[in-house]
Structure 1
Amino acid sequence: MEKKAIHLLPAQEEAIIQAFFDYHRTPIWIFHHTLELQHSFFYDIPEHLKGSLAAHIQSLISMSPDPSFDILCYEKELYYLFTFERMNEPYYLVGGPMLLSSIYQAAEMKTLSFSSAMKGKDLNLLVDNLPVVSLNSFSSCLRIMLLLMKNSTLSYEEICSYKLSNLTDSFRNALIIDLFDHQEEYRAHTPYSHEIALLTCIKEGDLTMLESLYRTLPDIKYGNMSNHSNPVRQLFYGCISNTTLATRYAIEGGLDEETAFTLSDLYIKRMEACRTLYELHAVNEKMAMDFTRHVSEAKALIHPKYSAAIRKCIESITGNRQEKVSLVALAKEVNLTPHYLSFLFQKETGQTIRSFVEETRVNKAKELLIYSQMSYSDISQSLFFSSQSYFISVFKRRVGLTPKKFRDLHSKSNR
């Protein structure tokens, strides 16, 4: 049983931890060095379930090779553990469990480390309440608690490279590919005309109309898409369906497939991390706006005053992801000589074909730096730069930042 240690935490410190839990929803457990539970910040769930989990946390402390500081990382869950002192007495603080995915089938739940002591119904209830974290949010939670309880902390890089942890591998393995295998099963139960109106805005790249529709149309309603009654999970399934449709309409509107599917992956991951209906609605709307903006930008490249030959060249350059674009191949495609195509392209667009190809590749590099974990070398090769150093040089000349500084800047803004 938990022993409420009134004098263990000063009132202000306890209030900070409670506010931290209310925001991040990461369970916090405080044990005496004798492994007696002193305090916990947890959900309003049955006491027997809370007690079972507390006993599991206690066993994790006992098994830790270094309980003074440890990151306990499993395939689909993780915890942090460290010691601190109050009134000259040592205590353990444990954060967790935290999940790497919010979607679990019954068989998958059985692989969680705390599942063996729980019945199926209890396990479902617990999993539905636990937070889903990214590497950034996990690191942030750990650093804040270290700073509060020990007045010292670790850097993001130190946490990611912690010697006893397989943290990075576990996050890398927390994939959501299975979601795409079942997307056809999801059905929206909002009026068809409303759905088509929103999707048409995405296809046309019409941001103004889309914003107007979001202000005037009622919220999209989704039917019962699983056996779970949790409204957040129900909305999550609906948002996945919406993202799938938005991806298809964006591609039909002129957005290249690689960019469309990259955006789809990005937003599904963000939706997975949402724990409230408000968050899901906000991310769902931002997803539609982002797809619409990308389609609008893609359409802007194809200016109506361009000749048919130049429009076809631009489409070939922006849509080509399989091979390096060459002037000879483009000229052959539009039945012009290379010399005349170069002249006509610069006359109509105001820039050379080489400059346009370079600009297109740099724009694609920006997306890969923001939305993927590809290495600089892999990005360079995939976009047909002659070398990584040349890629860095071109990127810096056009963007004003190196690829590393550009990625770091956007990574910080997304944390």
Structure 2
Amino acid sequence: MDKLQAVKGMNDILPPDSARWEWLERTLCDLMARYGYQNIRTPLVEPTALFVRGLGEVTDIVEKEMYSFVDAMNGDQLSLRPENTAGVVRAAIEHSLLHDGGKRLYYMGPMFRHERPQKGRYRQFHQIGAEALGFPGPDVDAELILMCRALWRELGLVEGRDLRLEINSLGQPHERRAHRAALVAHFEAHHDLLDDDSRRRLHTNPLRILDSKNPAMQPLIEAAPKLIEYLGDESRAHFDGLRRVLDAAGLEYRVNPRLVRGMDYYNLTVFEWITERLGAQGTVCGGGRYDPLIEQLGGKPAPAVGWALGVERLLLLLAEAGVAPAPVPPRAFAVLPSPAVLAQALPVLEALRAAGVSVLMHAGGKDGFGSMKAQFRRADASGATWALVFGDEELARGEVGLKPLRARPGEATGAQVTRPLARVAQWAHELLDDNPSL
């Protein structure tokens, strides 16, 4: 029988690598709580129309990358979510989340895009995102950008060295329309220099030509009209307000007039955190303001801003930068001479775990539990601070042995002591003491 394997570009996350994911998720959840952002969880499958209407019919995601299918039960057109901003907005509209004011939300989970798998870019990939709905000012734009900086610092990354910030303003729709007309005129005048993708986008979404990665297109793109030249007073004031806050916070950034992002729903502020450590896959986190989207998806008009980061890409960056979470070994390792002691040992281990002590129990096999000497080697290799010794002599006295396995530098390992089986709650805290010598 043939061996089944995972779908290409959809990867298993196995120990010990999964510990890095958990560390990142814990760090992120703690940070979000400090900024007042609450978790939201939306379905993996959404109506295809949500992304067509939200992202834009002529975006690469909708045209080329979505996993879409027809529901055999009712004929609905459905898609695996390729991103989650549209899903969060759909949920906010459907459940009237903004009826009592703005909401700060965050999410994490898998997204799906049908593209050629490569390092840091997969068909099932994971994103963490933050969305602030109902807040119109540049102060919240700045808050979200500064939250990213706080995350980099908590993870051990350094802005300016490992990551740099680029920002731009896309203005408002009428300003983009004026800029669009100028862009079309510019590119039409140089039609022979356009690649196939750019020619296709010329009259449907010319702004996306500016995001082309084709090296041959760069001189033509550099000479194109810049959107910032078409911004009105309000758009300029919003962008200047953002820059004042970032300047006051001491955050360095570059204004990139060609930064447009890949979704049609953006307006005003857009930004990206970029690294030089990952080659072509340089954008680790990106986002911006998308004030038109809530109304575009059927809700009452309301402003919104957010960002999303790619988990796989961020973990690659952390590895390149030499940043890794410290391993978290069990606090104690239970040494059992035979299956006969399980009835006495297991209640003790459960009581210790209930008291907050992590305990790894040696597991026996068909040939028993093996020698005590071999178990002590496993206990030491596990990194545990303590060995819990359920020897025959200790159990006969109604006790368990506590043997320190670690000592402070320059100190000898402490001697084994015993504690009563019947009074675990009274001594469990001793195992949590960072000094293993009793």
TM over 0.5, yes or no?
A: no
TM-score after normalising by structure 1:
0.22
- Structure having the larger proportion of residues in helix: 1
For CA contacts below 8 A with separation 6 or more, give which structure has more relative contact order: 2
TM-score after normalising by structure 2:
0.21
- Structure having the larger proportion of residues in strand: 2
